[in-house]
Amino acid sequence: MLLWVRYLYIIILNFDLMNETKEVKTKKSGLTLSVIFFILVLVVTAWINFYSNKIEQENNKTQAKIDEVVASINNIKKDEKTQIFELIERNKKALDRKAILSDIPNFVGVMKQMSDTYNVDFEWFNYSKGIVTSQSKAITNNESLAYEKVAKFIKEYRADEESLFNILFIDALEWTNQIKFNVELEVK
């Protein structure tokens, strides 16, 4: 903006220099240039003031709309159904986990499927806090040896990323013609 004013000043100065004599030129051109520059400053100041007022009015309108939206949101949040929904959304992960941990019929079905797949019998099981504890046994028969069945069960089931349980550390094992072992399965 100042560069534009400077060029205008130079143009006016050159115009005045061509039309007047040297003596009069100095007095008149200085006064003329001062008046033109003063008028230019007044016009620019008025334009800046007008533009500032316009922006302030737009900001006030925008702030009024924001206040209206905030008031609407606060009214919606006061609704009991919305509060319940927010509570459920906030605790969704924990509620989903509780749903998985309480799906006992699914646990029984998976235990039956594991028994059929690996030829390991789960004689009984106990479920508490996401851990299934079971007395299990594998018997040597014509198909395979008991320890092969147990090894296959542990190796393959641990490797299966889509399995329902994690096999925890097996800390007891009894081996004769059959292998009895306690297994703890943690729900993933």
The 10s digit of each residue's pLDDT in 103-142 is: 888 878 888 888 888 888 887 777 777 788 787 877 777 7
**Which of the residue ranges 83-92, 94-103, 174-183 would you say has the lowest mean pLDDT?**
174-183
The more confident residue out of 56 and 173 is: 56
- Exposure class string for 14-34: b at 16+ Cβ within 10 A, else e: eebeeeeeeeeeeeebeeebe
Interacting residues of 124 by C-beta distance below 8 A, sequence separation 6+: 134, 135
Q: Hey, where are the domains in the chain? A: 2-75, 100-187
Query: Taking the complete model, does pTM exceed 0.85, yes or no?
Result: no
> Cα-flanking dihedrals φ and ψ of residue 82, to 5°?
-65, -40
The 10s digit of each residue's pLDDT in 26-85 is: 555 667 777 888 888 888 888 998 999 999 999 999 999 999 999 988 888 888 888 888
CATH architecture of 100-187: 2-Layer Sandwich (3.30)
